[in-house]
Amino acid sequence: MEIKNTTVMTEEFYLYFQRFSMMASKLMLALRILSFAIMIGANIYIIYNALELLIVYSVPDLIPYMLLLIVFTVIWMILRFGTPKRMFKKYHLRDATIKFTFCDDKIIDETISGTINGKSEVYYKNFNKIYETDKLILIYVDHMHVFPIDKNGFEDESDIPCVREILRGAVGDKKYKYFAKK
């Protein structure tokens, strides 16, 4: 049995895959909550000092505090929403075509791009965890190596449940997580 999938690493697919990966990562979630808490705390501190200055002094004395507030907010917004876009511009697989072949006991991926061409085989028993959404399947071989598989790249839509069962059987229900939109 062989099931084929062709995934093209477009900017839209890459951004979806990266944002989902960051949301699914517990460490990234903790870092985002911590950065948000720091930003809120800094903004409260700045607003408190600005109000104190407003009562004691005049409006021109508030300008440095308001600028600091704006700078904190802009930096947080850039880090929160802009990082995956900047990463895609430097991504070595930008606009690459990745052909996946699901066999009985392994996955074969063949990568074709302007900078990298390669082929690898990984046995299902070596998978660390698998996440599935409505648009993609993320297969983590380890913490750094991931196969992003576009569900629209399957030759036949009926192949998706077959692949799901193969992968779920390989890692078990505990390491296979399905995230559906509600």
- List, for residues 106-138, the tens digit of each pLDDT value: 999 998 887 778 899 999 999 999 999 889 998
Domain boundary among 57, 90, 123: 90
- Report the candidate in 4, 22, 151, 10 with the shortest Cα–Cα distance to residue 93: 10
Indicate whether 78 and 102 sit together in one domain.
no
User: N- to C-terminal Cα distance for the chain?
Assistant: 33
Q: Tell me how far CA of residue 164 lies from CA of 63, 159, 172, in angstroms.
A: 57, 9, 11
Indicate whether 104 and 154 sit together in one domain.
yes
Indicate whether 98 and 112 sit together in one domain.
yes
pLDDT band at residue 1 under the 50/70/90 scheme: confident
Indicate whether 105 and 172 sit together in one domain.
yes
Beta strands 129-132; 176-178: pairing state:
parallel
Indicate whether 85 and 97 sit together in one domain.
no
Alpha helices in 57-158 (DSSP H): 63-77, 83-90
Q: What is the pLDDT of the chain when averaged over all its residues?
A: 81
Distance CA 39, CA 160 (A): 42
For the cut 90, the answer to whether the pLDDT of residue 150 exceeds it is yes
CATH number of residue 174's parent domain: 2.30.29
Tell me how many domains the chain contains: 2
Indicate whether 84 and 98 sit together in one domain.
no
Q: Tell me how far CA of residue 95 lies from CA of 8, 22, 141, 144, 152, in angstroms.
A: 6, 21, 22, 20, 16
Instruction: Provide mean pLDDT across the span 35-60.
Output: 75
CB 94 within 8 A of CB 85: no
Instruction: Provide mean pLDDT across the span 100-111.
Output: 92
CA atoms within 13 A on the CB side of 152: 5
Give the per-residue pLDDT at 84.
64
Q: Which of 69-83, 85-99, 115-129 has the highest mean pLDDT?
A: 115-129
As given in the structure block, the two tokens for residue 85 are: 């876009």
For 71, residues 6+ apart whose C-beta sits below 8 A from its C-beta are none
Indicate whether 73 and 135 sit together in one domain.
no
Indicate whether 49 and 101 sit together in one domain.
no
The residue segments making up the domain with residue 139 are 3-10+92-178
Indicate whether 75 and 112 sit together in one domain.
no
Domain boundary among 90, 112, 132: 90
Indicate whether 114 and 136 sit together in one domain.
yes
For the cut 70, the answer to whether the pLDDT of residue 15 exceeds it is yes
Instruction: Provide mean pLDDT across the span 161-177.
Output: 90
Distance CA 108, CA 101 (A): 5
Domain boundary among 90, 121, 147: 90
Give the per-residue pLDDT at 63.
72
Indicate whether 110 and 150 sit together in one domain.
yes
pLDDT band at residue 37 under the 50/70/90 scheme: confident
pLDDT tens for 50-75 read 777 667 766 666 677 777 777 877 77
Indicate whether 170 and 154 sit together in one domain.
yes
For the cut 80, the answer to whether the pLDDT of residue 87 exceeds it is no
